[in-house]
Amino acid sequence: MDVRILDTADQIAVAAGELFVRQIKTNPQTILGLATGASPVKMYQYLISQYRNGYLDFSKVKTYNLDEYCDLPRDDKNSYYTFMHENLFNHINIKEENVHLPNGNAPDMAAECASYDKMIADIGGVDIQLLGIGTNGHIGFNEPADTFTEGTYKVKLTDSTIKSNSIYFDEGAMPRFAVTMGVGTIMTAKKIVLIATGESKQNAVYAMVRGEVTPHCPASILQQHPDAVIFADRAAAAKLL
């Protein structure tokens, strides 16, 4: 695990963004694993600026997102489909057919999950996977549990995740289920980049980096990944300093 502590979220956006820029410049047909939430937004802005400067071309890039809510229309303002378009896809030259998110409204969820994993495996796996971390140590929607999850699956969200994310929803409208890549799927990525900022992530970052590898902190599995880079600002890294 390569832990890089920087002063500000803006510095992290550039440093993490540069890893993605380099990957796409090296291989224009890169397979990106992408994340939603507050953590990646500034990095997406950096990638957009590099595209606008004429430095990056997304025309052959394919993307696979970590997760999506269940029981929320795809075009809902809070869907991850909408989030990704508003924060990245609408501002770069990626082809819509190259954009993938799991379908949280699929009639047969088991088939949807199996086909999402198969799609990723068939194209040779994700080259570089972006992650945030939940205050409870979750990655994607893999919540603390007694065992590590494997492939993509439908998950019941924990109270702490519902509390964190319900700020975006009108009262009572927060979905209770989501579909997410499993920890096993995430770990197949060739490179993983995790961004953690702010004091609320202190305990999760400490458990991920210094704690034992345990499904009670799903992000701790990244200690076993051969190429995981963790970017934390000083607030998120406070307990490591």
* Catalytic residue list: 67, 136, 138, 143
Nearest to 207 by CA among 182, 232, 181, 179: 232
The contact pattern for ligand PGA, residues 28-57, with x = CB under 6 A and - = no contact, is ---------xxx------------------
Q: For residue 101, what are its two tokens? A: 């998110």
Residue 199: Cβ within 10 Å count: 11
In the bound complex, what is the minimum distance in angstroms from residue 11's beta carbon to ligand PGA? 17
Distance CA 138, CA 215 (A): 9
Q: Taking contact as CB under 6 A, which single stretch among the options 26-34, 44-52, 133-141, 210-218 is the one that binds ligand PGA?
A: 133-141
| Sequence-ordered strand ranges (E) for 121-222 | 128-131, 153-156, 177-180, 191-196
Task: Please work out the total of residues on this chain that contact ligand PGA, with binding judged by CB under 6 A.
Answer: 7
Which lies closer to ligand PGA via its Cβ, residue 37 or residue 104? 37
Choices 20-28, 97-105, 132-140, 166-174; region in contact with ligand PGA by CB under 6 A: 132-140
Q: Is residue 213 within the footprint of ligand PGA (CB under 6 A)? A: no
Cβ within 8 Å of residue 158, ≥6 positions away = 136, 138, 143, 144
Counting contacts by CB under 6 A, is residue 132 touching ligand PGA?
yes
232 binds ligand PGA (CB under 6 A): no
Counting Cα atoms < 13 Å in the Cβ hemisphere of 63 gives 24
Q: Residue 156's beta-bridge partner residues?
A: 177
Q: At what angle do helices 41-52 and 9-26 cross, to 10 degrees?
A: 50
The least CB distance from residue 192 to ligand PGA, in Å, is 13
Question: One symbol per residue from 134 to 153: x for binding ligand PGA (CB under 6 A), - otherwise; what is it?
Answer: x---x---------------
Q: How far apart (Å, rounded) are the C-alpha atoms in residues 22 and 193?
A: 13
CB 55 → ligand PGA: shortest distance, Å?
26
d(CA 235, CA 120): 35
Q: Is 87 in the site for ligand PGA (CB under 6 A)?
A: no
Applying CB under 6 A, which part among 6-14, 44-52, 113-121, 127-135 lies near ligand PGA?
127-135
Euclidean distance between CA atoms 157 and 80, whole angstroms: 15
Under the binding rule (CB under 6 A), the answer on residue 17 touching ligand PGA is: no
Distance CA 4, CA 119 (A): 32
Contact 140, 103 (CB under 8 A): no
220 touches ligand PGA by CB under 6 A: no
Q: Which residue is nearest to ligand PGA (CB)?
A: 37
Task: Name the site residues for ligand PGA (rule: CB under 6 A).
Answer: 37-39, 132-134, 138
